[in-house]
Chains A and B, each alone.
Chain A
Amino acid sequence: MLLYLSLLFALVVSNWQVPLSDETPQHVPIHFAMDREYEAVVQVEEVFSFQGKDTALTHAIYLLSDEDGAPLLYYADILTPVCIDNICKPMVIEIYWNLLGAYVGYAVDPEAPLTKYDHDLFEKEDYQKLHDLLLNRYSILERRELSDLFDTNAKPQEKVKFKGQEVDAVSGATKKEIKESVVEGALYSCYTAWHLVHGEVVQKMDAYLDSIYTRELASYFLDSDYEDYQSYALKQLNADDFEQHLARITAIFGQAKPLLRRYILKKMPEELWKDEYTTVSFFQYFAHLDINTRTLLIKELENAHPQALRLLAAGVQDMTKNQLRSYLNYLETRPDLMDSTIEEALKKTLAAKDYSYNYLIEAFLKDK
């Protein structure tokens, strides 16, 4: 039924299609998660099209580039039906993705603002909420069908059954999560938009990137402040490239999220650790890193320059029990690397008496 309505809708609204040419993109984004790259757009090229979920409509995807032809963004000007109870109305929204297919922002025509089910206009915070939802690639909406969201015949929720007792029931939690993540009164618009921006189009953009990934783009990615660009660029590097870009990679490591830090440490060619400068460049971050990354750095001790041991000795109080054990175990296997700097640092930690695992240090120093 929905498909039929969509087809019907497509026929009816086909005349509404805005010719996309040199006027594209047409409106300044309301919300945009990057650095206003859209302002540098000069060239616009239609590269492929995609189909939305539950509709027969196809949408053209444009690659937006700067005056030198360097790719910046993907863009689509979308007109799609939003239907509830067999009543459909159009939603017009311009969507921007980055070059990896990640949603980054959207625009709407001020003459055709987004509306809710009851025709109320979106408020300012509603636009923000829609943006937040679209940025969430893990949204619960991914696994939900429309019928799940509008099942009026659904049994009463556990919430009622367990009245008076706060239970994050599965269905209750789901409903709660959905409610919190979508614009109230515009669930279907949100659902439709989320599936448009995170649907098959993402795979198509990802595949298309292969065809435009030049040396210049690789450098742009690696040098950019966007972590997904950095991550993509790092994945394309071989061991030689890694050494060549080590300074940049070290800087990225200091700023990155734990997931990317882990990737960098895994990919780092073993022989690079032998260099003192490199070792210090990474280990200097120890105190500011998340626990998982610290564990990985401690694991690198056997490859790293001995200076790492000294750096860590001054920061053992940041270690978990198992991390401290690993550190001391390594020192035990390499007594030749134990020096007065390390010993003094350990004793200083002991003297401070505020580290929970001092008893391990004490036992280590006693056995030494």
Chain B
Amino acid sequence: MKKPQLLIIAFICCCFAWATAQDEALIEAESFLDKGGWMTDPQFIEQMGSTYLMAHGMGKVVKNASTKIELDQPGEYYVWARTRDWAPGPWEAPGRFKIQINGQALKNTLGLNPDWNWEYAGKMKLSKGTVKLELADLTGFNGRCDAIYLSTKNQKPPQDGPELKEWRRTRLKEPIAPEVTKNYDLVVTGGGIAGCAASIAAAEQGLKVALIHDRPLLGGNASSEIRVHTLGIYGKFERILKMIDTEHYPNGSPDAIKDQEKRDRNVQKYSNIDIHYNWRAYDALSQDSTIVHVDARHTSSGERIRFKAPLFVDATGDGWIGYWAGAEYSYGRESVYKYGEAWDKWGELWSPEEADNAVMGSSILWRTEVAETPQDFPDIPWAKEVAEEHEATAGEWYWEFSRNDLHQIHDGEEIRDHMLKAIYGSFANAKQDPKNENYRLQWVSYLLGKRESRRLMGDHIFTFRDVLDDAKPADSVVVEKRDIDLHFQQNLVDETKPDFLSKALFYKTERYYIPYRSLYSRNINNLFMAGRCFSCSHAGLGGPRVMRTTGQMGAAVGMAAALCKQKGVNPRVIYQKYLAEYMDLVENQHLLNFKN
């Protein structure tokens, strides 16, 4: 599957929106046939239960999303939408919207509840037959809708948790397991730079690869949806990485679009890479410490596929495959004594005496432009609590948020929303200055650019100590010379600073090496990892988290996977028995001669 096929999705949408012959209908918002100006947001499924649609209009009301359903029974229908107010407080909720049925708006405004819940939209008499549903944005400020439920009974569905999950599953008539199974040599989950590189490297060696990616574009943080430029060196994988990396344009630049086209085109040209765009993995089953399959769901249609393979790569960034499979992982900062990662110059800022849950934060990049005429920007009191008096007409990498009551994965939505408040609020403040009257927002990402989350543990844990010791083990497959840099929130050392700005500490290094043993799980036999979820400490992640380095990791595991297939072994055995052969493959990148 090279690109999302509209017709197939349209067909599937009918399945995902369920109306019975009785008296109720559940429609997943992401299955709407015409999404209008609403964006599909699958980032927080694990926390709030579903992909949802979001009216990300940067302050301008977006075009209605619409779909059609068939009702078999006429009657008076009560209508609920699962939604939330993403900036609760003593002001009008920013993300308000209405539901329209057959062109007529229901009575209640939605997007008012401080947490995900079903909000009652109103009731309407409906005839049997086709009904047109629309989401009508009222603000342009990130109103969101997970699902719509129509029923002739005045009974609100369950709010969340397993109860909602089961309620949903029965109404959508989903079987417990996916009905479609696909078999591959290698299943790569996550189409960021690491996942792309892994797929290409494995495909070049003849493996049949599934690449599962939850967005319509490849590249992750480097994609034109997030727009972080790739940093680092190519190491031994220049040819592969040049197919998928970016130029050194400013972060947030639309030049990312050009590199996006290059990346998608280059990965698509491999006929043995089966790219599953808009598919998000939601489970991985392991038996006897070996992953049997990964299950994924289409982010719009809800269709599901079970992916089977002897080998898997976790390039999800958040380490989801490893997490579901039971791989050991770490999160937060280790004690400085654990691996000897002290840098006295920065003390606690670099590595703490006592371990804690502090991590580098996530960013949302954004961009403005200067119009020829003055541009209005609304008054947004709900952003003040974050932006306060901070003024800005541009962002950069240091627009970054991390806080110790928020987990970069579990609280991702709150972190993203915090950054949106920071951006909109700072821009609104800047707009008060007459000199900025012609400024307008050109682009604001709604996807979190994460730096750090789960780190799966391998046979070797790469640490800052490896850098200090100038270690070059025999299985050094990744090489980097970029500074090790760790970030901290500015308000940690200066309370007058906004909480969404960070500082970086840089440790200069000539060159350091990451061993192959950091790229496979120490307790899940057939799991590789590449990207920020590779095996490292917090301080160890400081350098190699940039995307050419993570790309090197991907290419390295792609080649290792090929050798695993040829030898019929798991990743660890490559290190134990075939290291010379593997290093030769990495060095010379000749094609393996398979003996199937």
Interface of A toward B, CB cutoff 8 Å: 138, 142-143, 158, 162, 164-170, 172-173, 202-203, 206, 235, 257-259, 262-263, 266-267, 290-292, 295-296, 320-323, 326, 354, 356-357, 359
Contacts and interface: CB of A to CB of B under 8 A. Distances in A.
Q: Is the interface of B mostly helix, strand, loop or mixed?
A: loop
Interface of B: 88-90, 114-115, 229, 248-253, 344-345, 348-349, 352-354, 356, 367-370, 393-396, 403-406, 411, 414, 439, 442, 483, 491-495, 499, 503, 505-506, 508
B407 to A, nearest CB: 8
A357 B113 CA distance: 10
B295 to A, nearest CB: 29
Contacts of B369: 164-166
A194 B323 CA distance: 47
Contact of B439 (A166, A167, A206, A291): A166
Nearest to B252: A167
B354 A168 contact: no
Given A258-B491, A356-B114, A357-B114, A173 B348 contact: no
B353 A266 contact: yes
A168 B356 CA distance: 33
Given A165-B369, A166-B367, A320-B405, 14 more contacts: A143-B483, A158-B249, A158-B253, A165-B367, A166-B439, A202-B345, A206-B344, A266-B352, A266-B353, A266-B354, A291-B405, A322-B405, A323-B405, A357-B114
Contacts of B354: 266-267
A257 B491 CA distance: 9
B348 to A, nearest CB: 6
Contacts of A164: 369-370
Given A165-B368, A258-B491, A172 B250 contact: yes
27 contacts: A158-B249, A165-B367, A165-B370, A165-B442, A166-B367, A166-B370, A167-B394, A168-B250, A169-B250, A170-B229, A170-B248, A170-B396, A202-B345, A203-B344, A206-B344, A257-B493, A259-B348, A262-B356, A266-B352, A291-B403, A292-B403, A292-B405, A320-B405, A322-B411, A326-B405, A354-B90, A357-B88
A131 B208 CA distance: 62
B250 A158 contact: yes
Max chain A CB contacts within 10 Å: which of B405, B414, B439, B495? B405
A267 B353 contact: yes
A323 B345 CA distance: 33
Contact of B349 (A165, A259, A357): A259
Contacts of A359: 114-115
A39 to B, nearest CB: 28
A160 to B, nearest CB: 12
Nearest to B369: A165
Given A166-B393, A166-B439, A167-B252, A258 B492 contact: yes
Nearest to B357: A295
A173 to B, nearest CB: 6
Report the 3 A-B pairs with minimum CB-CB distance, sorted nearest first.
Answer: A169-B250, A356-B88, A168-B394
Contacts of B90: 354
Contact of A296 (B89, B115, B394, B404): B404
Given A158-B249, A292-B404, A296-B404, A259 B492 contact: yes
B83 to A, nearest CB: 15
Contacts of B370: 164-166
Given A259-B349, A263-B348, A266-B352, A168 B495 contact: no
A173 B493 CA distance: 22
A138 B353 contact: no
Nearest to A260: B348
Contacts of A203: 344-345
A61 B319 CA distance: 51
A202 B252 CA distance: 37
A158 B254 CA distance: 12
B405 A162 contact: no
Nearest to B407: A322
Given A143-B506, A258-B492, A292-B492, A166 B88 contact: no
Given A206-B344, A296-B404, A167 B495 contact: no
Contacts of B503: 138
A168 B492 contact: no
B395 A168 contact: yes
Given A291-B499, A296-B404, A166 B493 contact: no
Contacts of B249: 158
Contacts of A173: 250, 396
A143 B484 CA distance: 12
Given A166-B369, A166-B370, A290 B353 contact: no
Contacts of A257: 492-495
B506 A142 contact: yes
A167 B115 CA distance: 35
A250 B114 CA distance: 37
B394 A259 contact: no
Contacts of A166: 367-370, 393-394, 439
B253 A162 contact: yes
A321 B115 CA distance: 10
A320 B385 CA distance: 12
Contacts of B344: 203, 206
A172 B250 CA distance: 9
A240 to B, nearest CB: 17
Contacts of A206: 344
Contacts of A357: 88, 114
A213 B252 CA distance: 50
Contacts of A172: 250
B253 A167 contact: yes
Contacts of B253: 158, 162, 167, 169
A64 B114 CA distance: 59
Contacts of B411: 322
Contacts of B88: 356-357
Contacts of A202: 345
Contacts of B508: 143
A257 B503 CA distance: 16
A362 to B, nearest CB: 11
Contacts of B356: 262, 266
Contacts of A142: 506
A62 B25 CA distance: 82
A113 to B, nearest CB: 31
Contacts of A326: 405
B547 to A, nearest CB: 15
Contacts of B405: 291-292, 295, 320, 322-323, 326
Nearest to A295: B405
B500 to A, nearest CB: 12
A258 B491 CA distance: 8
